[in-house]
Amino acid sequence: MNAAPEWAPYDALLLVSFGGPERPEDVVPFLQNVTAGKNIPVERLEEVGEHYYSFGGKSPINDQNRALIAAVEKDLAEHGIDLPVYWGNRNWDPYLVDTLRQMAADGVQRAACWVTSAYSSYSGCRQYREDLAAAVQTLAEEGVTAPRLDRLRHYFNHPGFVEANLDAALAALDRLAADAGEDVAAGARLVFVTHSIPVAMEEASGRSEEDGLTGGAYTAQHRDLAATIVAGVAQRTGRTHEHDLVFCSRSGPPQVPWLEPDVNYHLEALHAAGVPGVVVLPIGFVSDHMEVIYDLDTEAAQTAAGLSLPFVRGATAGTHPAFVALARELTVERAAAERGAEVARPAIGSWGPSWDRCPPGCCRNLRAPDKPALCGRDSA
């Protein structure tokens, strides 16, 4: 009798992402999808859309996902893993519901879901799980049985993600040395950047009363990765750099507290403190999408230039070979766990490997706490 392949019980891998507009006329409809239920006037969306219009009305995220999928498909094939890779977005074509419909038509029974967000939070995890649940429910109402879906664990501290971001930090320090001199690079501050979220969302991230988890996972996980990268840089270069975690892309009404400091204000504070140069590392993002190319490469870079502060932005994980391999490694890991095999769960840093199924109440939807979500222990 033949043994089950190492990817069983899965017969597909599903990349689950945010989505983005591909042409100017897509921008406002896309933003309406993103802000659905918040009653934001079209005029305000047009203002926000200027970020996209300044880049031709197109977000780079979809092309980056296409490149990532091609790299993952190549990696799977090179390792003898016969899994088709599908792609579904939360907010733009290809929509999750359409992708799941196609998967069902193709006969897919069970898929591992790789989310393009590495950390715990409502917007980075549970909201994806809610959209998966909604897509499955839509298909059920059409009389279509969607594949069973399992979300792969958070990977902020997986060796593949760590390696990609450590390599980016080292390369950025080398560029800073070439641009501004070795002394500037030696004294540079490492500024780790992620997307700001409301403070209440941060407090709910990774929180589960049933499991005794107190929340605050979003920033704790980022800080854990940042400390790991700083230690890795010190090991490679012999220099330990001061570092900070800061935020970008704040939105919402000003009376609602969000995580701070903003990267631009922080650059001003570092300049005032006499820091000779900065390396900005967008560890909160897996690719160079709009929050990176506008908030960092445009706004933050302009802030630094206005201060005459030497500034280099490090790469995101993108299609770094270690990050590409992560998809395969997490899928094989989870497949073994689902078969009941003993599983090694590699993780670097103090946090340890994350859970396969989210704990009850984890990253709760504060506006609609009873909204269904898949891939958790409290899922239907």
User: Domain of 86: which CATH number?
Assistant: 3.40.50.1400
The phi and psi torsions of 12 (rounded to 5 degrees) equal -165, 155
Q: Does the residue 33 lie in any domain?
A: yes
Terminal Cα distance for the chain, rounded: 35
Q: Find where tokens 């709910």 sit.
A: 204
Query: Across all residues in the chain, what is the average pLDDT?
Result: 95
116 and 24 co-located in one domain: yes
Domain end: 313, 329, 354, which one? 313
Q: Does the residue 271 lie in any domain?
A: yes
76 and 203 co-located in one domain: no
- Rounded Cα gap, residues 332 and 9, in angstroms: 10
pLDDT for 170 equals 98
Mean pLDDT of 293-322: 97
Q: Does the residue 358 lie in any domain?
A: no
Q: Is the pLDDT of residue 41 over 90?
A: no
**197 and 258 Cβ atoms separated by less than 8 Å:** yes
Q: Is the pLDDT of residue 62 over 70?
A: yes
- Apex 279 CA angle, 275 and 283, nearest 5: 130
137 and 191 co-located in one domain: no
Three-class DSSP category at 68: helix
pLDDT for 43 equals 80
Q: Does the residue 367 lie in any domain?
A: no
Q: Is the pLDDT of residue 187 over 90?
A: yes
215-252 pLDDT tens trace: 999 999 999 999 999 999 999 999 999 999 999 999 87
- The structural domain count of the chain equals 2
Q: Count CB neighbours of 260 within 10 A.
A: 12
**110 and 150 Cβ atoms separated by less than 8 Å:** yes
17 and 136 co-located in one domain: yes
104 and 244 co-located in one domain: no
311-320 pLDDT tens trace: 999 999 999 9
Q: Does the residue 360 lie in any domain?
A: no
- Rounded Cα gap, residues 151 and 333, in angstroms: 12
Domain hosting residue 258, numbered range: 159-313
Strand partners, 14: 86, 113
46 and 102 co-located in one domain: yes
- Rounded Cα gap, residues 158 and 153, in angstroms: 10
147 and 165 co-located in one domain: no
276-295 pLDDT tens trace: 999 999 999 999 999 999 99
pLDDT for 380 equals 53
pLDDT for 379 equals 81
Q: Is the pLDDT of residue 60 over 60?
A: yes
Q: Does the residue 2 lie in any domain?
A: no
- Rounded Cα gap, residues 173 and 277, in angstroms: 10
75-112 pLDDT tens trace: 999 999 999 999 999 999 999 999 999 999 999 999 99
Q: Does the residue 113 lie in any domain?
A: yes
132 and 188 co-located in one domain: no
235 and 170 co-located in one domain: yes
Domain end: 280, 313, 346, which one? 313
120 and 249 co-located in one domain: no
Q: What pTM, to 2 d.p., does this model score?
A: 0.96
99 and 152 co-located in one domain: yes
199 and 331 co-located in one domain: no
Least confident of 1-5, 260-264, 323-327: 1-5
Q: Does the residue 366 lie in any domain?
A: no
pLDDT band at 42, cuts 50/70/90?
Answer: confident
